[in-house]
Structure 1
């Protein structure tokens, strides 16, 4: 993210339930957004239920800004995307949360941006949507309307993910699950190939080289950990010696 770029403000327009305000703050906190703006909330503010739901995101509620009108809440923003699940009959570009996140990340240096959400009962009114640059609609399988906290969570997550460099997949390794050294792999190869030779598996002699290389390639593709190498060597020993455990009923 550009040093001069601020994270999007989250504007909740006429929210009704303190629990949903708290859930929105929690979602913001999880994904690095801090500017929460409340427009004419139904219940008095501060709200105990919002704080109970926010848990560790309470500082966001402490700093939340309260506005009487949506115009005031949006006044200092350069780019605003409104979320709605319904066709409002207004000529507006409709984008997904993924596309919105990409565009917000590419905002011009110095631009202040915002994500606008309606209330739990009816969402945003047409006049509210008319103040935004475009509309975000979250794709769903059937029922299009989402809980307010869920909608904020999804949009905040996509914004975070758009510039997140967390590996798409990884394996957590403890001390015994480190990668083996080459020497430890060589010992595995020597052990396995020795027993396969003694068992008669590596035969005839003119194919031993090809078979050995295929076995080693298989081991490499498995990307074994040190612990797995040691386990395999134990298995080889047990099979070679014909060791049997007596299992008692």
Structure 2
């Protein structure tokens, strides 16, 4: 893992140089893997989806970079998706891309989604500059969620992240114990998925659906008034 680039301050504390990226997706959907067989939607994109989007930008197989982020959606809805599975034995062939609505044939499924998703992402240097250049001219299309969920880069800014004991939590993804906001909920998110999809690393995060205000924070940095928690890419066997 690449070490962070730090800058010494007059008061003796160390600030971390980072790149802030603001993303916007009109529609995005992130299936909750804790509910197999159902299409329950996560309220925020998991780190694995964000790292996958960064890998699409750089063209690398993976991007196991440390990152921190805030995320929230303006609304949500439910999409109706029609599936046309083709029987392997040829008993229900597709005609003009459609199969008959019999058992094992055409079926309608509900797909929850988030609307007007905003993600603010912090990537420490030196990875931040490298990824920022890739986001300006990505190798592959940038998506969050399903293959049709395009994401747009609104801005890319070089910033300094400073250690802090108090900051505006907002919609930050924080580690357990990072703050004591009463409205926070714990969400379990995939942090990385191995390329063969046999191993997934999960992590627990605190997140507020309604933005939390200025609060005491632990093990946090700040960008201006906003709290930021940088989380390294996981190592180990996963589950």
Q: Which structure is richer in relative contact order (CA contacts within 8 A, separation 6 or more)?
A: 2
Query: Which of structures 1 and 2 has the bigger CA Rg?
Result: 1
Q: Same fold (TM over 0.5)?
A: no
Give the TM-score category using the shorter length. Answer: under 0.3
What is the TM-score when the length of structure 2 is the normalising length?
A: 0.25
Q: Answer 1 or 2: which has greater strand percent.
A: 2
